Structure 1
């Protein structure tokens, strides 16, 4: 009896795996397959039909082995298509992500090239501008976590800023969108977009979110990260390494595994005792609370009070184009 129950459970699990692989494979063929949309749609539906037939055959004793072998053979082209997708730095990029940053290192001095500092009139009307600046790692004295919310508490865009005295450098990990494909969540799982590190002046990266984005508006919070500053320096250098790597070897963005929040966590792994993965990283809006729970934010206040004090929209609007924008949005902060 126990053996029979085990066989049934195993069969059900195999069926669930096959169903999931069928759905994933059909979407791979639809998004990554060759040919027109009609050809890709036909390929996706054909694979789904094969998967459904194999799933039915799996539950018939005399066809079970044939179902497994047949599905495995049908799945090989899916893997070929998936493996054949290659990221590129050569597309007609949207202007916000058209220019890649890079860094040159000379001991403790790091020169960051192509720091974005657009002059915005509206979110979509701006004059592109970039500059280079040299930072002394010995002057790095703070790291801040920025969280921008626009669709409820569960979803936010997170990025970090590094403070060198009065100079602050924002680094936002984003989808590198071209002019032909707006971002959507589901395609983001299927190698449709490249990854980009937007290295920007805070008057760009923060102000565009607080002062210019209206549809929908964004609520922006600035949290100071606690911990040894040596950890911050290691993380900064790891960011620079990845930025230079992406310039030579582009990689894909992934909605779940390679996004703004998971990559921040990846960079912190260079430090001992780094924060482990959590579902609060997947639901990025809860990531600041998770950082608070792990002791990476100021715990002298309850989190809700800390979050209330960390809301910077009003201060950013008041500072606007002021040259001391970074100092003014931190007024009253520790």
Structure 2
């Protein structure tokens, strides 16, 4: 073999090697582009903490909004409803698809390596935007549906909220107000009572004070709040904002966020509305007499209840566990009457701590027995606990009984106020505010 032929074969071999290497390099670059992997020189910088935080907040927002919408559908249609299940499957599918976009690069790589797939694949960003758009549309439609749900007056209500209080003023004396549908049931057990709705005339000029009653039924943080108005020569009258339950319906604090219950205003005798809590249900009930009020403030608060009755009779409203419940509605009305004397406070939304709030703002007399020995909040709770006082009270009246309902109501109201000092009304605004300020400082 000649030297020329040897060099010719050697050069030919090197050329083929270079060609193969070049082809391999081009193949690797193509794979790198398809799979999204880049060389170290072109590698993008790692995600910053701000980017991760943004992604986390978006994910939490999507999850919470989905839970809210599903709960709204659940409480409106029930968990066994076909609509509830279809909505759950649809929303869960959209969120699952959004989650899967995190692995979109892996999926596209597998599909691109499939020799049967010659079509250009959709990018990850496009898929994510489409899915978020679909979810946002679904959620906004659900939001519009939720706020279109209207409260009703004509449902099959439970007996204790079947009627709504209404009133008329005397044409010759506006102080005389005749209330219709004042509840005055004879409760035997939590679920059984003899129904009785009264008509009662009261004299607003005889208003002598206000008591706030807290009934604890779910731990120290949650309580139902009632307001009783005292009169100089008559028994008290209690008002209570409550959910208007349908037959067979029970209360759920969570359902109260989702337009599940209409709002009801009950005017009742204390032997009915307090007795059923302290005796029939076994809740722990406390009655606090409010100090440092003027007569016109008490009257204005009473008038606020009459206005609320008019509003609910004209147009029903929804109960809301957070913004329109039995406690903060009272605070809204009282603040209109008393203004800055009742500052905003987180305890307005934690109903069980309402008495502590009243104590701190000077609405509970620091030394009610005038012996210069201030009462602590513990003393107030001890003295105002009415369960021991109401225990054994005979709440039954009938046509054969020698005791009328009115007499029985007066006796119950007197009995639960034993050992509770009842404050008198303030003579002027200056004295009321000064006394409240002094009381608040004493409580501190």
TM-score (norm 2): 0.68
How far did 1:190 drift?
A: 1.2
How far did 1:170 drift?
A: 0.6
Tell me which of 280, 284, 292 is aligned to 1:227.
Answer: 292
Residues 245-272 of structure 1, C-alpha deviation per residue, up to 9 Å, x if partnerless?
Answer: 1112111112222211122222223121
Tell me which of 179, 183, 191 is aligned to 2:247.
Answer: 179
Q: What residue in structure 2 maps to residue 218 of structure 1?
A: 283
- Paired with 1:255 and 1:77, the residues of 2 have a C-alpha distance of 24
Residues 1:133 and 2:200 are matched in the alignment: yes
User: Relative to structure 1, is the Cα distance of residues 26 and 137 closer, same or farther in structure 2, using a 3 angstrom cutoff?
Assistant: same
Q: What residue in structure 2 maps to residue 329 of structure 1?
A: 416
How far did 1:179 drift?
A: 0.8
Contact 2:79–2:85 under 8 Å retained in 1: no
For structure 2, the 5+ residue unaligned runs are: 1-44, 104-123, 368-374, 396-407, 422-444
- Paired with 1:7 and 1:276, the residues of 2 have a C-alpha distance of 41
User: Relative to structure 1, is the Cα distance of residues 24 and 113 closer, same or farther in structure 2, using a 3 angstrom cutoff?
Assistant: same
Contact 1:145–1:160 under 8 Å retained in 2: yes
Matched position secondary structure for 1:260: coil
Contact 1:32–1:82 under 8 Å retained in 2: no
Matched position secondary structure for 1:269: helix
Q: Which moved more, 1:5-14 or 1:230-239?
A: 5-14
Q: What residue in structure 2 maps to residue 143 of structure 1?
A: 210
Task: For 1:272-287, list aligned pairs within 5 A.
Answer: 272-273=339-340, 275-287=342-354
Q: What residue in structure 1 maps to residue 154 of structure 2?
A: 90
Task: For 1:93-108, list aligned pairs within 5 A.
Answer: 93-106=157-170, 107-108=174-175
Structure (1/2) with the larger strand percentage: 1
User: Relative to structure 1, is the Cα distance of residues 55 and 303 closer, same or farther in structure 2, using a 3 angstrom cutoff?
Assistant: farther
Q: What residue in structure 1 maps to residue 363 of structure 2?
A: 296
Residues 1:308 and 2:372 are matched in the alignment: no
Query: Greater Rg, structure 1 or structure 2?
Result: 2
Q: What residue in structure 2 maps to residue 21 of structure 1?
A: 65
The count of aligned residue pairs is 330
Q: What residue in structure 2 maps to residue 121 of structure 1?
A: 188
Q: Which moved more, 1:277-286 or 1:307-316?
A: 277-286
User: Relative to structure 1, is the Cα distance of residues 54 and 177 closer, same or farther in structure 2, using a 3 angstrom cutoff?
Assistant: same
Residues 294-326 of structure 1, C-alpha deviation per residue, up to 9 Å, x if partnerless?
Answer: 222223311010110001112223554444321
Task: For 1:29-68, list aligned pairs within 5 A.
Answer: 29-32=73-76, 37-54=81-98, 63=127, 65-68=129-132
- Paired with 2:102 and 2:301, the residues of 1 have a C-alpha distance of 49
- Paired with 1:277 and 1:67, the residues of 2 have a C-alpha distance of 43
- Paired with 1:101 and 1:13, the residues of 2 have a C-alpha distance of 47
How far did 1:31 drift?
A: 2.6
Q: Which moved more, 1:271-280 or 1:219-228?
A: 271-280
How far did 1:160 drift?
A: 0.8
Residues 1:243 and 2:302 are matched in the alignment: no
User: Relative to structure 1, is the Cα distance of residues 84 and 35 closer, same or farther in structure 2, using a 3 angstrom cutoff?
Assistant: farther
For structure 1, the 5+ residue unaligned runs are: none
Residues 8-29 of structure 1, C-alpha deviation per residue, up to 9 Å, x if partnerless?
Answer: 4444333332222111112222
- Paired with 1:131 and 1:270, the residues of 2 have a C-alpha distance of 30
Tell me which of 266, 271, 274 is aligned to 1:198.
Answer: 266
Matched position secondary structure for 2:391: helix
How far did 1:114 drift?
A: 0.8
- Paired with 2:292 and 2:52, the residues of 1 have a C-alpha distance of 51
How far did 1:99 drift?
A: 1.1
Contact 2:70–2:84 under 8 Å retained in 1: no
Q: Which moved more, 1:179-188 or 1:270-279?
A: 270-279
How far did 1:155 drift?
A: 1.8
- Paired with 2:208 and 2:50, the residues of 1 have a C-alpha distance of 58
TM-score (norm 1): 0.88
Q: What residue in structure 1 maps to residue 30 of structure 2?
A: none
How far did 1:143 drift?
A: 0.6
Tell me which of 221, 226, 251 is aligned to 1:154.
Answer: 221
What is the CA RMSD across the aligned residues, in angstroms? 2.7
